[in-house]
C-alpha cells in the first residue's frame, strides 16, 4: 500500500493563516481548500 502525502503550497498556506486568524472553522477551511480537515489541523499544529 502506498501512502500519498499532500502539501499545501505557499498560497494555500497564506490563505490558511489568514482564515484561521479570522476564526474560520477547520471544516470550512477544508471545504475552501478542497482538502482534509486532519491535514489542515496538523499543518496548523506544526507551523502556527
pLDDT tens column, 6-42: 677 889 888 988 998 999 988 898 888 887 778 778 8
- Report the pLDDT value the prediction gives residue 12, as an integer from 0 to 100: 85
d(CA 29, CA 47): 16
Instruction: For residue 34, give the DSSP letter.
Output: T
Rounded to two decimals, the pTM is 0.67
Cβ neighbour number for residue 4 with a 10 Å cutoff: 4
pLDDT score at 2: 65
Q: Cβ of 35: how many Cβ atoms within 10 Å?
A: 16
Amino acid at each position: 500500500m502506498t501512502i500519498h502525502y499532500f502539501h499545501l503550497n505557499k498560497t494555500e498556506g497564506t490563505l490558511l493563516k489568514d482564515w484561521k486568524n479570522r476564526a474560520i472553522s477547520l471544516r470550512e477551511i477544508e471545504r475552501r481548500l478542497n482538502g482534509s480537515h486532519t491535514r489542515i489541523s496538523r499543518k496548523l499544529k506544526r507551523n502556527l
